[in-house]
Structure formats: C-alpha cells, structure tokens
Amino acid sequence: MDTVGMSSPTTESPGARVLVVDDERSLATLVGNYLSQAGFAAALVHSGPEGVAAAREQDPDVVILDLGLPGLDGVEVCRQVRTFSDSYIIMLTARTHETDKLIGLSVGADDYVTKPFSPRELVARVQAVLRRPRLARRDMPRTGEGRVGVFGPLRVDTESREVTLHGAPVALTRTEFDILAVLSERPNLAWSRRQLIDEVWDAAWVGDEHIVDAHIAHLRRKFGDDSASPRFLTTVRGVGYRMGRG
C-alpha cells in the first residue's frame, strides 16, 4: 500500500483519510498528490482485495474506488466494504453506460465520476461529501429518543440516524439516510432534484442530477415501496419527490 504525505489539514475536515483504489498507478498517484495538497491523508492501493483490506484496516472517511479492478471489481469491493463501513464511496468509471453507474450506486456508492476527469473536480467532490452535515432537523417532533418523523409504519429518527419499518431496522447508506431526512423534514413539500442535491450533496456539486432518482429507487426497494403506488416516497410529476404518510 502506498501513502501520500499530508499537508496542512483543511479547515472543513482536518486530517480526513481518503483511500484511493485504482489499478492505474500513475492516475492513483496523481489523485493522491492532489488530495495531499488539499490537506487530506491519502493511501493508495491497486487491486480489489487490497481495497477491501485497506478499508477494513484504515476506516477511511472517503473511498475513491475504480470500477475496473483486478482481483475483485469495484462493484464487489463496494458491496463488501458496505458490510462493515459507512465511509463515503465515490466510484470512478471509464464506462459511460448508465447501467454501470446505477449498479455502482445500487451496492452502496454515494457518487460517481466518469473518466477522464479533472483531479481538481474529484478533490472538490471529496470536500463536498465531507462538508455534508449529519442531518438533525430542529423542526421535527421531539420524543424522548430524539427527533422523529413517523410515516405510517416507517419511523425516521434523525438524531440517532435510525430508520425502522414495522419496528424492524432498515440499513441505509449515508446518502440514502440524508435524502430521507431531508424529505422527512418537510413532508408536504415537493423537492426538486436540484434542491435535494443542494441539501444532501452540496450547492457546488456538478453532475447528472438523475443520481437522485437512483437513490430514491434504492430507498423504495428497501421499504418495499411500489413506485406505481408508493406509500412513503411519492414522485411529483414535473417537480421531484415528496414524503408520503403511508
């Protein structure tokens, strides 16, 4: 495993650890140098099994993960990492087919960047995810256990970051939870994709806004929510999404 020296920590996330998993060593080194210059502690590995092992050992804040890797591909690495880590995962892919991006998101990636890309853009994406607040909304009803939104059998506790359906816990990624928390904050408001991106990702985020649709689809699948007749996550035609009440 290679490491890249850390310069002065950023004020937004001092000393944040970023794991870069890419078999293109020159590209990984270039990305690592840019991350170091931005104040991050960067570690570099170059195969799928190394990526899983390094994520387990280092507990990074962010994993930058190439889709095409030797040993294990990026999808399987992401799947395995998600069994023990809630690190933010940004997938790198040279493939432009929409299915490849959706597969990465479906196994727990938070964002994706398509090659070729600007290293500065990638560093900006890392900075953006690390600026994301752990959402706990002041205007949600208080209970003795935290700030809670109740939507029929679905219960969203933004303080403990726990979601239950019919009393059973539902495992969500950070991004899935943050989208749900925003929608739960004002359940009668129809949120556009751009508004959700501004709230959950960052106002400076640039990319395909349909990334929101992929995460909504994953939430619906985990809730057993039929998109044609949803109980919890309603599509508002021509606008975006709002929270239903079951």
User: Domain of 178: which CATH number?
Assistant: 1.10.10.10
Per-residue pLDDT band for 19 (boundaries 50, 70, 90) equals very high
pLDDT at 173: 85
- Alpha helices, DSSP H, located in the chain: 25-37, 48-58, 74-81, 98-106, 119-131, 174-185, 193-200, 211-223
Q: Please, what's the largest Cα pairwise distance for the chain?
A: 53
Q: Residue 144's pLDDT is what?
A: 40
Last residue of a domain, one of 108, 131, 154: 131
Domain-embedded: residue 209? yes
Max mean pLDDT among 72-86, 100-114, 140-154 falls in 72-86
The mean pLDDT of the chain is: 84
Residue-range definition of the domain harbouring residue 230: 142-243
Whether residue 104 sits in one domain with residue 17: yes
pLDDT at position 112 is 85
Res 147 pLDDT > 80: no
Measured between alpha carbons, how far is 117 from 30 in angstroms, rounded to an integer?
A: 12
pTM: 0.69
Of 111, 131, 151, which closes a domain?
131
Q: Which of 99, 131, 163 is the last residue of a domain?
A: 131
Q: Do 147 and 214 lie in a common domain?
A: yes
Name the domain count of the chain. Answer: 2
| pLDDT score recorded for residue 109 | 86
Q: Is 167 helix (H, G, I), strand (E, B) or coil?
A: coil
pLDDT above 90 for 107: no
CB atoms within 10 A of CB 202: 17
CA atoms within 13 A on the CB side of 140: 24
Q: How many residues does the chain have?
A: 246
**Contact (CB, 8 A) for 184 and 158:** yes
31 pLDDT more than 70: yes
| β 233-236/240-243 pair status | antiparallel
Q: Which residue has the tokens 């840019």?
A: 34
Cα(217)–Cα(72) distance, integer angstroms: 26
> Is 136 a domain residue?
no
- Does 123 share its domain with 156? no
User: pLDDT class for 13, splitting at 50, 70, 90?
Assistant: low
Q: Is the same domain home to 98 and 15?
A: yes
pLDDT tens digits, one per residue of 175-202: 899 999 999 988 889 999 999 998 888 7
Residues 104 and 204 in one domain: no
